[in-house]
Amino acid sequence: MSSSAMSYPVLDPAVSVAMRAGQCALAVMAKAPRPGRVKTRLAPPLSLEEAAAINICFLRDTTENLAAVCGGDGAAAAGVISYTPVGDEALFDNLLPAGFVLVPQRGDGFGERLLGTVEDLLACGYGSVCLIDSDSPTVPAAAFEQAVEELRRPEDRVVIGPSDDGGYYLIGVKRAHRELFADITWSTTSVYAETMAAASAAGIEVVELPLWYDVDDGATLDVLTAELLRDTPPAFASVRGYSAGHTRGFLEALGGRGGESR
């Protein structure tokens, strides 16, 4: 990638493009990487500047993983960043693979922003949407590939990737099901269970992906450090995680201290 800043197109939901109908939008939910605004629960053990730096590594690794899943022209998937706040688009310059596009988040609460992203990407013409967190840089590529394949099948369904903290790292839909994002107790250990219950109540088929984990505090940073630097996967892992080269290099530069006391 060039050292000069890249810019990425910002999608307009008022413009639907027919050629996107066969694609799944793989949309990473991301905050613009400003120190003090991202990954603040990692400070300590990291400084606010280090927390912002590792956030950028997570973003680079996740989008490079997705870019490989997307492939080239005519692929079944496309890479997207659903970002906040509006006005900070330039902070993503030179961070993402070529071909990625941006779409601004809208809505007040987290559930509203998730639903808004689904609605806007479907309005842009995509046939389905996966919302992906930016806190899980080692999600196996096979999980993303499975999500895309499941959403290509006929009939409506939800694809969900559970996290070991009770949330999820991915939710994929073919329609904007409001009930999946309403009345969920966000940022708690019951998010996954409540979402599954909402899907069941609505009669929507659910496909589960492999269990994985988010990195949002010192303890989970230790898990990540063990996975990437000591080749020790999380105990629950049934498949090998993504190599996450940017994050690995950052942790190596820290001396492998991860979430341990400074």
pLDDT tens, position by position, 167-192: 999 999 999 999 999 999 999 999 99
* pLDDT value of residue 175: 98
Among candidate residues 219, 178, 228, the one with its CA nearest the CA of residue 202: 178
- Mean per-residue pLDDT, 238-257: 91
Measure the CA–CA gap between 236 and 54, rounded to whole angstroms: 24
Where b means 16+ CB within 10 Å and e means fewer, 82-106 reads: bbbeeeebebbeebbbebbbbbbbb
Query: For the segment 1-35, what is each residue's pLDDT rounded down to a tens digit?
Result: 333 445 899 999 999 999 999 999 999 999 999 99
Angle of helix 245-253 relative to helix 48-70, nearest 10 degrees?
160
Q: Which fold has domain 18-213?
A: Spore Coat Polysaccharide Biosynthesis Protein SpsA; Chain A (3.90.550)
Give 262's pLDDT tier (boundaries 50, 70, 90). very low
* pLDDT value of residue 258: 55
Please tell me the pTM assigned to this model: 0.94
Among candidate residues 190, 148, 138, the one with its CA nearest the CA of residue 167: 190
Give 71's pLDDT tier (boundaries 50, 70, 90). confident
* pLDDT value of residue 1: 36
Q: Is the pLDDT of residue 243 over 70?
A: yes
